[in-house]
Amino acid sequence: MTSLRPLTRRGRVPRALLPVGALLLALPLAACGSESDSEDKAGGGTSPAAEAFEPVTIEHAFGSTEIEEQPERVATWGWGSGDAALALGVTPVAMPKYSYGADENGRMPWQTEAIEELGGEEPALLSETAEAPIEEIAAAQPDLILANYSGITEGDYEKLSKIAPTVAYPEEPWATPWREVITTVGEALGKADEADQLLEDIDAQVAAAAEEHPEFAGKTIAAVAIDPSAFYVYRGADPRVEFLEDLGFELAPSVDELDTADETFYYMISTEEADKLTSDVLVSYSPNEDAAAEVDKSAAAKAMQQFQDDTVARVVGESLVSSVSPPTALSLTWGLDDFIEALVPAVEKADAQG
């Protein structure tokens, strides 16, 4: 699974089959499954956390899900829900395997750090497939499945719900606000207060970054992924854009004016229309320096004022791109400093333009 998800409404497309621009779009109790957990469950024992758990009902796109008992074996699918669980001290029994931006373990670097810190058994890694790997998830024997930032279909949901209570996204696939991913996971795990505190801590770090860079405030911005065959623009509802707004930027009016309404969180425009996407600053995501150089030489770049004025913030590197595309409970602060560093030169150039 990638972080800047090139997704259809059916779910993820395997990265190996996608061009660079699409790859950029495709772009989230105790330690679960331990021997002592199994013994307690088998012996009928209950932990204080389980005894204190209050049943919850979570509404989502496919109805509602009741969670009546403290989850002990949590599986996650999509982007961000696994990070939220880890940030709240719960290691999933199964979570997606990644290749884009991942380490040798098939995990994002911030996930590996959190898993090592929590200790206990490591999660099983689910195959990178276009649709949820139902059999693999079932094999992990979860008692809760979190897919609240994903592309599962209603058919997927029905199959997953036969395995365990399943939480889907609230309205549209791949469009759940990153904060809501965290609060929903917290609610499902009986850790709503901890989730609220986690968000307060993250927001404090983002607010501090915005305060350190008052020059961001009021600057109009557009976020894009470009490759030789396509030009993708992120909508205002996309979590990537919401994060930029948290830092003080404003969505450029041209983003809405050019919207073709062909996908949930992004749309595509032709190279001929690229010059109409005006903004003070353009954020361009690229997996590596070679790809960034290709973007700079593209016909779209040659047509855009931002490239001519050097007001392009180039976010380069698979892990960094993934950390903010969209951000998660773990990744946002992991990549924050490098992301700010990428933004500053472009904003300074925009200021110089007057």
Q: Which of the 8 DSSP states describes residue 127? A: P
- What integer pLDDT is reported at residue 48 of this predicted model? 58
Q: What is the SS3 assignment for 27?
A: coil
Q: Which two tokens stand for residue 112?
A: 């590996």
In angstroms, the first-to-last Cα distance of the chain is 41
Amino acid at 75: A
How far is Cα 265 from Cα 233, in angstroms, rounded to an integer? 9
For 204-352, which CATH class?
Answer: alpha beta
pTM: 0.80
- What integer pLDDT is reported at residue 223 of this predicted model? 97
pLDDT band of 21, cuts 50, 70, 90 = very low
Percent of the chain with pLDDT over 90: 76
Answer yes or no: is pLDDT of 222 > 90. Answer: yes
Per-residue pLDDT tens digits for 76-134:
999 999 999 999 999 999 999 999 999 999 999 999 999 999 998 999 999 999 899 99
Q: Are the C-beta atoms of 179 and 149 separated by less than 8 Å? A: no
Asked whether this chain's domains 15-201 and 204-352 adopt the same fold, the reply is yes
Tell which wins on pLDDT, 154 or 8.
154
Q: How does strand 220-227 pair with strand 230-234?
A: antiparallel
How far is Cα 106 from Cα 121, in angstroms, rounded to an integer? 16
How far is Cα 280 from Cα 308, in angstroms, rounded to an integer? 12
Residue 351, φ and ψ in degrees, nearest 5: -60, -40
- What integer pLDDT is reported at residue 228 of this predicted model? 73
Q: Are the C-beta atoms of 87 and 34 separated by less than 8 Å? A: no
- What integer pLDDT is reported at residue 50 of this predicted model? 64
CA separation, residue 119 to residues 32, 251, 337, 351 (Å) = 11, 41, 27, 47
**Is the peptide bond prior to 6 cis by the omega test (within 30 degrees of 0)?**
no
pLDDT band of 333, cuts 50, 70, 90 = very high
The half-sphere exposure of 349 on its side-chain side, counting CA atoms within 13 A, is 18
Class of residue 262 by CB neighbours under 10 A (exposed 0-12, middle 13-18, buried 19+): exposed
Mean pLDDT of all residues belonging to the chain: 87
Q: Name the nearest CA neighbour of 67 among 212, 176, 186.
A: 186
Answer yes or no: is pLDDT of 69 > 60. Answer: yes
Q: Where are the domains of the chain?
A: 15-201, 204-352
Query: What residues contact 240, with CB distance under 8 A and at least 6 apart?
Result: 4, 223, 234, 324, 325, 326, 327
- What integer pLDDT is reported at residue 273 of this predicted model? 92
Give 287-291 contacts, CB < 8 A, sequence gap 24+.
287/20, 287/23, 287/24, 287/100, 287/316, 287/317, 287/318, 287/321, 288/316, 288/317, 288/318, 289/316, 291/20, 291/227, 291/316
Per-residue pLDDT tens digits for 163-215:
999 999 999 998 898 999 999 999 999 999 999 999 999 999 999 999 999 99
Q: Are the C-beta atoms of 92 and 32 separated by less than 8 Å? A: yes
Q: Are the C-beta atoms of 198 and 232 separated by less than 8 Å? A: no
CATH topology of domain 15-201: Rossmann fold (3.40.50)
Q: Are the C-beta atoms of 148 and 176 separated by less than 8 Å? A: yes
